[in-house]
Amino acid sequence: MQAYRLVRRAGGSAPGGGPGGGTVADVGTAMDGGAVVGGGGASMGAVLPTDGAGLRVDAVQAEVVGHTDGPMLVLGGPGTGKTSTLVEAVAARVAEGVDPERILVLTFGRRGATALRQRIEARVTRDGHRVLREPLVRTFPAYAFGLLRRAAAERGEPSPRLLTGPEQDLIIRELLDVVGEEPEDDPVGWPTDLRPALRTRAFAGQLRDLLMRAAERGVGPVELARLGEKLGRADWPAAARFLREYVAVLALRDVSNRGSIAYDPAELVRAATGLLRDDEELLTAERRRLAHVYLDELADTDPAQLELLSVIAGGGKSLVAFADPDSSTYAFRGADPAGVTTFPHRFRTASGAPAAQVLLTTSYRAGPALLAAIARLGRRLRGPAAHRRLHPLPDAPPGVVEVHTFRSATSEAAWLAHALRSAHLLDGVPWSRMAVLVRSTALQLPTLRRALHAAGVPTVVHGEDLPLHLQPAVAPLLLLLRCALEPDRLDEEAAVALLHSSLGGADPLAERRLRQGLRVLALAGGDRRPSGELIVEALRDPEELADIDRRWAEPAQAVAGLLAIAREAAARPGATAEDVLWAVWHASGLAERWAGAINQGRPAAGEGDLARRRRAEAADRDLDAVLVLFDAAARFTDRLPGARTEVFLDHVLAQDLPADTIAPTADRGAAVRLLTAHAAKGLEWDLVAVAGVQEGIWPDLRLRGSLLGSERLVDVLAGRSVDGATAANVVGQTSALLDEERRLFHVAISRARHRLLVSAVASAAVGGDDHEEQPSRFLHELGPTTPPTPPSAAGPVDPTAPPGPRTGPQSVDSASGSAGAPTSGDGAIEDASHGATEGAGSSPTNGPANGATNNPTSGPTSSPTSGATNNLTSGEGDGDGEGDRPGALPVTRPPRALTLPALVAELRTAITDPAAPAGRRRAAAAELARLAAAGVPGAHPDDWWGLRGLSDDRPLVDEGDPVRVTPSAMESALRCSLRWLLERHGGSGPTSTAQGVGNLVHAAAMLAEDASADRGALLDYVAARFDAIELAARWMAGPERERAEAMVDKLLRWLATNPRRLLAIEHEFAVRLDDPNRPVDLTGRVDRLEVDEAGRLVVIDLKTGKSTAVTGTELAEHPQLGAYQAAVEAGAFAEFGDESGGAALVQLGTSAKDAREQNQPAAGEGPAAGWATALVRRTADTMAAATFAAVANSKCRVCPVRTSCPVSGQGRQVVEPPTVRGPENP
């Protein structure tokens, strides 16, 4: 037998070639179906039985391993060992004496190819062989590029080079810049409606995308123009003419590069195919050189790659292709799963028969319950279905599938953290064998990661799972360069991001102090601009920062200095992106700071070794990411020596998918991995949580339509487009998109070995929310839900049981899903510390006294090894009847977190609850005593604020002291005094968009004394100051500005019909209502003070809200208008008079066409004369009281202090236990 020696290893060379020397240390990325190697963490796919020397395969896999004659298609679902079988087949060929360089293994993705190469090397060495040559594991572009380079070397020509995306964009934008303003200055002849977009970066990107899609499918300029004329698209013939010019420019550049041909990624594979077809001798030599060809991930290939495969491995050669049609999730890269269906007839045997097909139907990953759920979703997938009928191993545990919905993303994250901690603490699942999958990195990953970290769940996001520009250490550097080179990009949002980044190092307190300092300095100089504008100006010109406390100014000074350094470095002649980046990096001091954290970092006060280690790991990852950024800058500079730094930024920021990184080589420790479903392909974990499965996010059915219609070109060439039928084309595109999203969800749920958790938010039932969310349709497709087990069905409950869930595994009958008898724990402290599912597993009638839910499939603590249900399970309902509606998913309440603070809180609730049984209270007291003895914060009664007397029970205002009352606050104080109190002392929310628009209209109204006011001047005033309003979203600018202008017009029309004469605008007043016990200082400002025909004073209050109109009954005693009349009667406007003629609200903000005036009669007339002054005094008594009442009213829905309100569902925990328990049993 021929011997070989291994020359490349991921984990070092094999020691002596023995069977034990081939383990692979890095399991960060892998392909589906591989054996578990190394330690804990994500494994490389299904686990095949071992026989001591290698992997033992079943009969079907043995047939594939032994196949060497002609083409074969191997179909298998997730976890059936496809890639493991491929590895075994390659090892078998090497064992038979085939040179590894005569075995070509093609796969999708560079990282996948690296992992597969490492596994093949490890597998070969386990048989005692030594490999002299590296196995040929390549991606299609890598193989094509190697073929072109080898052919050029044989002909004595310069080596070809790969044209990068930035270089393509640079050439395209240079050609587009030639186009003049006039049609005769346009050599290409672009359509008129596209001409304004020609010089934009987005148009260049979309044009490159169209050219790449055409190149991938072999469409040249002539064919592209013909298709455009046929479909009535004037842009495609223009793009065809541009393509000719683009190709000519590339040819000239090739000549200037001494004949080195540049290929863009789209034409690389087709260029290799064309080369082989044109050079018969080269094709014959290549086919003779390749003895066996193996293809992994056939479903992710595009037409050009299949064409290359047919050239090198067609005609009956030894070719084995592995595929799972349901795992094709890269259509946006040109992948077409239809290649799986056509493979047997396209690749025929030497005799002309279709290729043999083999089905792998044994799942080495999941048990029957998991497979059943996956199969239910699989029935919705299109295409062949035979490979979906999977059978588990005979001794495989059933597995658990849980579907949960929540009222908010916060509740979802809390439940998810509880589920992960339960699996780790109770079931013993290592952190590294759990993963959380999401659909969108930008939308979901940061929030979820923060929530899990706050709950004590260690998480890790591998650098290879994020595009380079999204990695935490790289993003601030790129943002700083962008703001330095394009000053208009430096707005308030960017400035705050830089201040809080590692470059500035500010915390929220420092930012607030900085804002306050800048604001004080500005006001002293008469500058009334908002603090956000002042921060931006300070970063551009840091001189103002010299007058601010050094502690708060340092972050801004550091960022301003780095911005100046970046601008100076970029302005130097010949400066490259690498030079500018190095100047900023050197001045930032981050290298020394992070290196110190890694090598000499010491824990801060109160920190232990764990905190120090995590700091060092974070610094290590950040340095890895920055090194990758510098490497990208160096490669960019080598390829485009004259390109400006702005082009490099465009290149990096345009990366939507992960790029190369050395970060995976670092040891991440034990942590739950967070990643996208795309990145999870080929991996598996014991527990997989798929979070945020919302309609609109998953599936995301937004049509990725482009201006130039590159997706339409793909549909036309694939036969999915109907001539002239726009609606049918949209339906077809949406259907194809839904298929891809469903396949992606199928990939996500099939990553679990033992337990699958799927969660979403259902917030529609809350009411009045502008951001309602619905669970995805995929949750319903996953299978029927099992209703929660009612408390009565679980049998009697021991009322003396200690708080917290019962410990020990709870068995479940796989047929009925009913729970077995729980087993008791070994000690009280262990019982309590195992965690209580106070909200999630119990009904309001049993509460925490019952411990964990009696239906273990509904809570997050069920053990996957204890025999799980075959039914799809769901969370407990929250008692609102939501789960009773047909098709509705029950809503889960987040349980008590498995943390010491949460445990202490539950025990304290139990011991202080007068309705709790005496036995339960005694048990809680014993547990608290043990925790207090161990030094757990909050466990000792001395730390309980609730047991202490009130620090001050005096009224808010001492008797005899004046009470300050403002008319605008009267209504709030009388409606709910608690809300008024909390808002006055910091509980008010930020200024809303509507309030900002209203303030602007009020300011404009000061310029309109009567109907003769200049409308144009008023509108110019509004337009000039509109940008200072904080908008919730940019799209609101247009509608809100139109609304403000409409209110100005309503005001002018109202002034034209107003019979009264103006006395003052925005007039301030202050008057005291004397009282021996409690004098009242009534102060405020009136919008307009007018006089009627009888000489009486009338106060006008302008209302700009959409729903501020009041009923006739409310108007008669409207508090704010009454306060104005009381001020008139008390002499607040003595220079104008002291007789009140009433007051009025002028509604400008309602949807009515004209302003509506609502008049309140004079307070001094009629039998109730003096009511206004009495109302002010009653308000003063309310504001000065010692207690403040919470009153339910129509404004509770928008109350900013709901979480502190005892009558609100969100704040009821302030005054009462979270659950109500029945009386103690006799």
Enumerate the known binding-site residues for ATP: 76-83
With tokens 């103006």, the residue in question is: 1062
Q: What is the DSSP string of 561-581?
A: HHHHHHHHHHHSTT--HHHHH
Distance between CA atoms of 291 and 96, rounded to whole angstroms? 12
Enumerate the β-bridge partners of residue 354: 348
Please state the φ and ψ torsions of residue 965, each to the nearest 5 degrees. -120, 130
Tell me the CA distances in angstroms from 1077 to 963, 967, 1123, one per residue in order.
11, 21, 20
3-state secondary structure of 615: helix
Per-residue 3-state assignment (H helix, E strand, C coil) for 31-99: CCCCCCCCCCCCECCCCCCECCCCECCCHHHHHHHHCCCCEEEEEECCCCCHHHHHHHHHHHHHHCCCC
With tokens 């595929």, the residue in question is: 323
Please state the φ and ψ torsions of residue 658, each to the nearest 5 degrees. -60, 145
3-state secondary structure of 379: coil
CB 1029 within 8 A of CB 993: yes
Distance between CA atoms of 514 and 554, rounded to whole angstroms? 10
Cα 781 to the chain's mean position, in Å? 24
Question: Which residue type occupies 818?
Answer: S
Cα torsion angle, 206, 211, 214, 215, sign? negative
Say how many Å lie between the first and final Cα of the chain, rounded: 84
Q: For 315-337, give one letter per residue: b (16+ CB within 10 A) or e.
A: ebbbbbbbbbbbbbbbbeebbbb
Locate 325 and state its tokens: 């049609």
Question: Which residue type occupies 651?
Answer: H
- Enumerate residues 6+ apart whose C-beta is below 8 A from 273: 144, 304, 307, 308, 311
User: Helices 726-749 & 710-717, crossing angle to 10 degrees?
Assistant: 90
Residues in the chain: 1226
Query: Exposed/middle/buried for 747, CB within 10 Å: 0-12, 13-18, 19+?
Result: buried
Distance between CA atoms of 893 and 879, rounded to whole angstroms? 10
State how beta strands 161-162 and 262-263 pair.
parallel
Report DSSP state, residue 965. Answer: E
H-type alpha helices, 913-1036: 918-933, 967-975, 977-982, 993-1005, 1015-1025
Distance between CA atoms of 465 and 481, rounded to whole angstroms? 24
Distance between CA atoms of 948 and 971, rounded to whole angstroms? 34
Residues in the annotated binding site: 76-83
CB 342 within 8 A of CB 314: no
Cα 271 to the chain's mean position, in Å? 39
Helix H or strand E segment including 363: strand 362-363
Helix H or strand E segment including 874: strand 873-874
Distance between CA atoms of 971 and 1183, rounded to whole angstroms? 12
Per-residue 3-state assignment (H helix, E strand, C coil) for 710-754: HHHHHHHHCCCCCCCCHHHHHHHHHHHHHHHHHHHHHHHHCCEEE
Query: Exposed/middle/buried for 133, CB within 10 Å: 0-12, 13-18, 19+?
Result: middle
